[in-house]
Copies of this chain bind each other. A is one copy, B any other.
Amino acid sequence: MGRDERGVTPQSEDFSAWYNELVAKAQLVDRGPAKGTMVIRPYGYRLWELLQGELDQRIKDTGHQNAYFPLLIPESYLRREAQHVEGFSPELAVVTHAGGKELEEPLVVRPTSETIIGEMMAKWVSSHRDLPLLLNQWANVVRWELRPRMFLRTTEFLWQEGHTAHADKADAMRETMLALDLYTEVARDIAAIPVVPGEKTAGERFAGAVRTFTIEGMMRDGKALQAGTSHYMGTNFAKAFEIQYTSETGRLELCHTTSWGMSTRMIGGVIMTHGDDKGLVLPPRLAPHQVVIVPIGRGDQALDAARDLAGRLKAAGVRVHVDDRAHLSPGYRFNDWELRGVPVRLELGPRDLESGTVVMAKRLGDEGKQTIPLDSVARIMPGVLEDFQALLLRRATGFRDAHTRTVDAWESFTDAVTSGWALALHCGSAACEDDIKAETAATPRCVPIGGASETGVCVRCDRPATYGTRVIFGRSY
């Protein structure tokens, strides 16, 4: 079948077209009717559920509790924190009418929940004994996007937002870094994305935050994707919403708060970190189907054997699917599962049944098709999947490192950011950042945590470098 119907534009030809065609053809999403909205189809939603499960468990294990706060927020709440309202105002969707009447005060559809959660925290916290207050919410949020992109930038998206209140700065900063660690771990160990954790420069901070941390992943076009952020708010929101407590010595003190979020954007990251010209490549820990069995040939013999094998794989803890679409040719089905990124395909035809074997084809790797004994499949599969997961992380790490250059000269910088990241010293001035962006489209993605100490001059303006280490610059989503 031709590319138009089944295949996708090669990445090297047009990465953006590759992405847009793939998310639709792999049945991850569909466009919603309202501008920039997306319908997450079952295959895409299952990916999200699996990611959610992993993240939710870690959030609970570290002492946070889930709660749920209202979608609709009085407009006046946002105005209480000056930077916050300035940052979010242009993106708000506003409910002006409800129950057949015009509302006295318009309600904003939450773009994020610091304000309404701040208001509730103020009610719930009174003593030092109420701290830390560690909350998390799984929710939909709405931000009006001018240039929507499925998963990456949609008018509505799904996420979790952690919101915590603490007695002092030290405790709040520990929390901020804890959340960043959770994100780094989930990205690396579950999504096989070797993200770099670091701090945003002042110009890239969250609206209302004192410090913003991020995890940045490199996509296969060399661009960076911000895949999760964690913010230390200082006492900004505590002041705006009067989140206060009485200390052990009886003094009234302001809380220090944090917030942190990871969203359906992460699915875009998985697609662009691992996918290739044949389609998606899914890490086993997130794959809705880790193994697909394609029975071949007429009659029920192969199908029965496939179902029997599926039962044994399921018992071994493997997510397995039997493709029983007998009206489609084997070749069509093979391509379909390659497009949809299933890690392992098992082909089961009449000849295999006779010889008691099965043909195994991995979505990635050098082995080609392998013929293996049918009765060994369930035993070896968990290991095969672990190896595949590790392969993806190794491959993505290799790609990232091969496309990251340590540069000191401006010419090297401009060259590096056309195909990947530049590690460069920077003066830290906003004007210089703007200048770099205007000329190269690259921005400071983060100041990596644990970067080697280094001093010198700014790659762009020759003024003394700040931050004490090299900054990652790159183009981004």
Contacts and interface: CB of A to CB of B under 8 A. Distances in A.
Interface stretch (A97-105, A213-221, A274-282): A97-105
A96 interface: yes
Interface string A90-119: 111111111110000011010000001001
B66 A45 contact: yes
Interface stretch (A67-75, A330-338, A345-353, A378-386): A67-75
Contacts of A48: 68
Given A40-B67, A45-B66, A140-B140, A72 B93 contact: yes
A123 interface: yes
B72 A30 contact: no
Number of copies: 2
Instruction: Classify the secondary structure of A's interface with B.
Output: mixed
A34 B92 contact: no
Interface string A131-155: 0000100011010101000000001
A472 B68 CA distance: 35
B120 A72 contact: no
A156 interface: yes
Nearest to A72: B34
Given A46-B65, A66-B46, A116-B32, A100 B93 contact: no
Interface residues of A, number: 56
Contacts of A92: 98-100
A287 to B, nearest CB: 15
Interface string A55-96: 000000000011111111110010000000000011111111
A322 to B, nearest CB: 14
A295 to B, nearest CB: 17
Contacts of A90: 99-100
A327 interface: yes
Given A42-B135, A46-B65, A65-B46, A70 B34 contact: yes
A93 B89 contact: no
A422 B463 CA distance: 86
B67 A41 contact: yes
Contacts of A49: 66
A156 B99 CA distance: 13
A73 B146 contact: no
A425 interface: no
A235 interface: no
A390 interface: no
A139 B138 CA distance: 10
Contact of A142 (B72, B106, B139): B72
Given A65-B46, A67-B39, A33 B74 contact: yes
A95 B98 contact: no
A377 interface: no
A327 B139 CA distance: 36
A266 to B, nearest CB: 15
Interface string A306-348: 0000000000000000000101000000000000000000000
Given A34-B107, A95-B95, A96-B96, 5 more contacts: A39-B69, A40-B67, A42-B66, A71-B142, A92-B100
Interface of A: 30, 32-34, 37-42, 45-46, 48-49, 65-74, 77, 89-100, 106-107, 109, 116, 119-120, 123, 129, 135, 139-140, 142, 144, 146, 155-156, 158, 325, 327
